[in-house]
Amino acid sequence: MRILFLGDVVGRAGRDAVVSRLPGLRRELSADLVVLNAENASHGFGLAPDMARAFLEAGADVLTLGNHAWDRKEIVPYIEGEPRLIRPMNYPPGTPGRGATVVDVPGKGRALVMQVMGRLFMEPLDDPFRAAQAELARHTMGAGGSVQAVVVDIHAEATSEKLGFGHSFDGRVSLICGTHTHVPTADHQVLEGGTGYVSDAGMCGDYDSVIGMGKAGASIRFWRKVPAERLAPAEGEATLCGVLAETDDTTGLAIRVGPVRLGGRLSQIMPGF
C-alpha cells in the first residue's frame, strides 16, 4: 500500500494548494491512501465543514485535527456525522467525534488511521501512549488481519515525545507522522521494527512566514509582550509538505519512506519510488 501523508494545512494558501494539486499528486504518486492534517485550514485556526468537504472531494481519505480542533464551533455537529474526520483520541471521554477510523482502500484492504496529541508543552490531556495501546489492541495488521495498514498522526510539540512514541510502537503500525510544528524534519526513516516515521511532516502553507502566519504580526510578539492583533495566515504560494510510505502487503510494515515537497519556496523533492 502506498500512503501519502500531508502536514498541517494553513489558511487559504494551504487550502487552495491542496485542493488544486492533490488530485494530480495522488495520481502521480499512485497513492492508495491519503491522510491530511487540516486543523489550521480555517484562517490558521480550526476547520470549517465546507473546507473538510473540499479536501475529501479533492482526494483525501482521512482528515485529522489537533489542538485547534474546536476553534470553529460548527465542526462539532459535522464531526459527529463524518467518520473520515478524526481528532486526538486522548481527549477526555465525552469529547465530540472519534480518535480513530477504519477506511476501505480499494484493491488493498482496509486501513486504520488514528491520532493522538502529545502532552509536553501542550494541553494536559489523557496519556497518548496508553490511548494508542488500547486502540491497537482492538486490531491486527497484515494480510490476514483486521486491517492491512495502520497510520498514526502524533500531534505534538516535542520531538522527544514523538520519537519516544515512534519507538514504543515500532513494528506495530505502518507509519507514524508527527504534526503541529509546521516545519518539515529530515528524519524520515524506517525504524528497526519496520515502522515508517517522521518527526514532523511540515505544513501545507506559505513558508515566507512564521509557521504559516504573517511575518510582521507574528514576529512582534517576541519583541513586545503585550496583546497584539490577531495572527493572520501568510497568503503567498504554498508548499505542500508530507511523506510517502510504501508498505509490505503481507506484514503491513513500511518498506520505504520519502519526503514530499511541492511548490512554493522550499527545495522541491519527490520520492524516487
Task: For CA atoms 40, 76, 4, 175, give the dihedral sign.
Answer: positive
Neighbour order of strands in the sheet with 2-6: 85-86, 62-64, 33-37, 2-6, 240-247, 254-262
Terminal-to-terminal C-alpha distance of the chain: 13
Q: Is 188 marked active-site? A: no
Number of Cβ within 10 Å of residue 210's Cβ equals 17
Residue 28 marked in a binding site? no
Residue 155 marked in a binding site? yes
What's the CA gap between 196 and 200, in Å, rounded? Answer: 12
What's the CA gap between 186 and 189, in Å, rounded? Answer: 9
Secondary-structure breakdown of the chain: helix, strand, coil percentages, each rounded to the nearest 5? 25, 30, 50
Residue 180 marked in a binding site? yes
Residues 6+ positions from 47 with CB-CB distance below 8 Å: 38, 39, 41, 63, 65, 68, 69, 72, 75, 85
Residue 67 marked in a binding site? yes
- Regarding beta strands 33-37 and 85-86, do their DSSP bridges make them parallel or antiparallel, or are they unpaired? unpaired
Residue 39 marked in a binding site? yes
Task: Let me know: does 95 contact 74? Beta carbons within 8 Å.
Answer: no
Of the candidates 43, 68, 139, 167, the residue annotated as catalytic is: 68
What's the CA gap between 97 and 63, in Å, rounded? Answer: 12
Residue 8 marked in a binding site? yes
Task: Let me know: does 14 contact 203? Beta carbons within 8 Å.
Answer: yes
Which parts are annotated binding residues for Fe cation? 8, 39-40, 67, 155, 180, 182
Which parts are annotated binding residues? 8, 39-40, 67, 155, 180, 182
Catalytic residue positions, numbered: 68
